[in-house]
Amino acid sequence: MSECLRLKKSNCKNCYKCIRHCPVKAIRFSGNQAHIVGNECILCGQCFVVCPQNAKEISDETEKVKVMIQGKEKVIASIAPSFIANYNGTGIEDMRTALKKLGFYDAEETAYGATIVKNEYEKMLKDGEKDVIITSCCHSVNLLIQKHFPAAIPFLADVLSPMQAHCQKIKKEHPDAKTVFIGPCVAKKDEAEYYKGFVDAVLTFENLTQWLNEENITLQKSEEPQNENSRARFFPTAGGILKTLRSQPENYSYLTIGGVENCMAALKNVISGKIHKCFIEMSACTGSCSGGPVMEKYHPTPVNNYVAVSEYAGKKDFAVEQPDEYFIKKNFEYIASNNQEPTEEQITEILHQMNKTKPEDELNCGSCGYNTCRDKAVAIFQGKAEISMCLPYLKDRAESFSDNIVNNTPNAIIVLNERLEVQQINAAAKRIMNIHSDSDVLGSPVISILDQESFLEVLETGKGISGKLIFLAEYNKYVEQSIIYDKNYHVLICIMRDITDEQAAKIKQEDINNQTVELADKTIAKQIHIMQEVAYLLGESAAETKNALTKLKGSIKKDE
């Protein structure tokens, strides 16, 4: 498959929206990036349409066409009939005028080719040789059958697409011409590249609009006469091919099916043999090509688009020269995907790795992009998906990890909402406050277990509290309390460290210190008192000694 639809890796955000909307799950994830699986993709363009990050891009051949125009060959545009809906009523003559200003030699409606294809379908119906006939105008439907429903290949109408038939007509009339198809389809880029010799380049309506804007060319909406010979302009609408058939043999029934999922369901019925003698108009896009993925509005308006095309279409066929049947034959081959199917044991093993050990664990929530957990397991086996894409698995794993941390930390943790109601409480907090079960407090006001003053302060000021010493008198506990206000998640987180033992040891040490100081004070006072008594006694003794010595001195003097 060509690289007409690519991924801008830097933009992929692992939302898995592209997988959810890919009808054939042709996307694999590796290294947190989405990758398109080329041999499975049917280029329906849904991943491009739904990607919220614009991570998918369609190849742009505008520069290639500019180079072609600068060459010597004539460059002629084949414009898909849905242009009337995309460009809000601008007719073919105005489109031709604008394209000539860009340097094109001429421009024609692809509806000419649609008439050729329609004529061939009528021959097939008249011959009645095919039991079931599936239209082959839509390249995405062709790829769907070739890649995913190969048993239905024999039912595909072996006829060129309108794009190919028209460009073949142009090259027959202008042997030296280069052809450029302009339309709303991604798949046409691949069809042009795969089947060489018909189309030299493909532009989307968006490519054309951008080019016109760059050259300051405005599309006019002038009045042009109604072309009654233009019934094939109905082709891009739901049921448009059936509308153009001049005759519908009664031995066939006729169905119009739009949307890949509906086409897949119909193909299963065809392959199973439940449908016979049926002509089926199949389109990958709901509403057919006028609801194509590269209609510039991206979100198609089917009613308005249908009305625009219907009012522009005539009642009779374009005048075309029908080529020999040989020149408009198209062969379709099986395109293998090389995917291996896992055994039941291998699927079970992968499911167990996703913690899905019993049927009720298989939620089939679709968050990974796959319809069922079993589909996801198959994709993992085939290397297209990763276990980590399972949201319930990641949620359980994350909760288990966080719960292990929260419940095994020695610190008490309580989470409150902004109404100060308990939302979560861990085991350490329950131990501190003698709470037996989470259900006893969850949803209750925090005031039922703690003083709410600090929480109100944090809620009002928006400033957290760190390491505040609190005595929980009701629980006879000392804690070091920190409160954090998370405004993004609108919660208050209270973390309490139980310091009762530390505080008791501190108090005990303070008591010992106080007793030591008191004993020292008493000892000092006693020593001072003793010293004072000794001093007093010494003082009396000294006075008596002085008196005695004085008397002795006096007696000695008398004797002399």
Looking at the fold, whether 247 and 195 belong to one and the same domain comes out as yes
pLDDT > 70? residue 299? no
Number of domains in the chain: 5
- Tell me the CATH number at 415: 3.30.450.20
Per the domain annotation, does 557 fall within a domain? no
Look at the pTM and tell me if it is higher than 0.85. Answer: no
Per the domain annotation, does 334 fall within a domain? no
Query: By residue range, what is the domain housing residue 446?
Result: 410-498
Looking at the fold, whether 442 and 402 belong to one and the same domain comes out as no
Looking at 388, 408, 428, the residue that finishes a domain is 408
Looking at residues 194-207, what average pLDDT do you find? Answer: 95
Residue from 169, 144, 114 nearest 289 by CA: 114
Per the domain annotation, does 66 fall within a domain? no
Residue from 341, 336, 343, 367 nearest 354 by CA: 367
Lowest-pLDDT range of 199-213, 376-390, 515-529:
515-529
Report pLDDT for 548.
65
Across 426-440, b (16+ Cβ under 10 Å) vs e yields bbbbbebbebeeeee
pLDDT tier, 542 (very low <50, low <70, confident <90, very high otherwise): low
Average pLDDT over the chain reads 88
pLDDT > 70? residue 338? yes
Looking at the fold, whether 93 and 190 belong to one and the same domain comes out as yes
pLDDT > 70? residue 248? yes
Report pLDDT for 276.
95
pLDDT > 80? residue 152? yes
3-state secondary structure 126-148: HHCCCCEEECCCCHHHHHHHHHH
Residue 192's Cβ-count burial label (10 Å; 0-12, 13-18, 19+) is buried
Looking at the fold, whether 355 and 477 belong to one and the same domain comes out as no
Number of other residues whose CB lies within 10 A of the CB of residue 319? 8
Question: Cα Rg for the chain, rounded, in angstroms?
Answer: 45
Looking at 282, 307, 328, the residue that finishes a domain is 328
pLDDT tens per residue across span 57-102: 889 999 999 999 999 999 999 999 999 999 988 999 999 999 999 9
Looking at the fold, whether 136 and 194 belong to one and the same domain comes out as yes
Looking at the fold, whether 438 and 536 belong to one and the same domain comes out as no
Looking at the fold, whether 176 and 305 belong to one and the same domain comes out as yes
- Tell me the CATH number at 385: 1.10.15
pLDDT tier, 383 (very low <50, low <70, confident <90, very high otherwise): confident
More confident residue, 354 or 534: 354
The torsion angle over the Cα atoms of residues 168, 173, 177 and 180, rounded to 10 degrees, is -40
**DSSP letter string, 400-435:** HHHHHHHHHSSSEEEEEETT-BEEEE-HHHHHHTT-
Report pLDDT for 407.
74
Give bridge partners of residue 477 from the DSSP assignment. 472
Looking at the fold, whether 44 and 115 belong to one and the same domain comes out as no
Report pLDDT for 283.
96
CB 82 within 8 A of CB 290: yes
pLDDT > 70? residue 539? no
Looking at the fold, whether 3 and 19 belong to one and the same domain comes out as yes
More confident residue, 126 or 221: 126
Per the domain annotation, does 547 fall within a domain? no
Report pLDDT for 498.
92
Looking at 328, 359, 384, the residue that finishes a domain is 328
pLDDT tens per residue across span 416-430: 999 999 998 999 999
Per the domain annotation, does 232 fall within a domain? yes
Per the domain annotation, does 264 fall within a domain? yes
pLDDT > 70? residue 151? yes
Per the domain annotation, does 347 fall within a domain? yes
Looking at residues 39-55, what average pLDDT do you find? Answer: 88
Per the domain annotation, does 173 fall within a domain? yes
Looking at the fold, whether 107 and 229 belong to one and the same domain comes out as yes
Report pLDDT for 385.
84
Report pLDDT for 8.
74
CB 292 within 8 A of CB 45: yes
Using CA atoms, how far apart are residues 540 and 537, in angstroms rounded to an integer?
A: 5
Report pLDDT for 546.
65
Looking at the fold, whether 19 and 136 belong to one and the same domain comes out as no
Report pLDDT for 74.
96
Using CA atoms, how far apart are residues 161 and 77, in angstroms rounded to an integer?
A: 16
- Tell me the CATH number at 13: 3.30.70.20
More confident residue, 224 or 125: 125
Looking at the fold, whether 219 and 170 belong to one and the same domain comes out as yes
Report pLDDT for 128.
93
pLDDT tens per residue across span 303-336: 888 899 999 999 999 999 999 988 999 999 999 8
Report pLDDT for 297.
58
Number of H helices, E strands in the chain: 19, 16
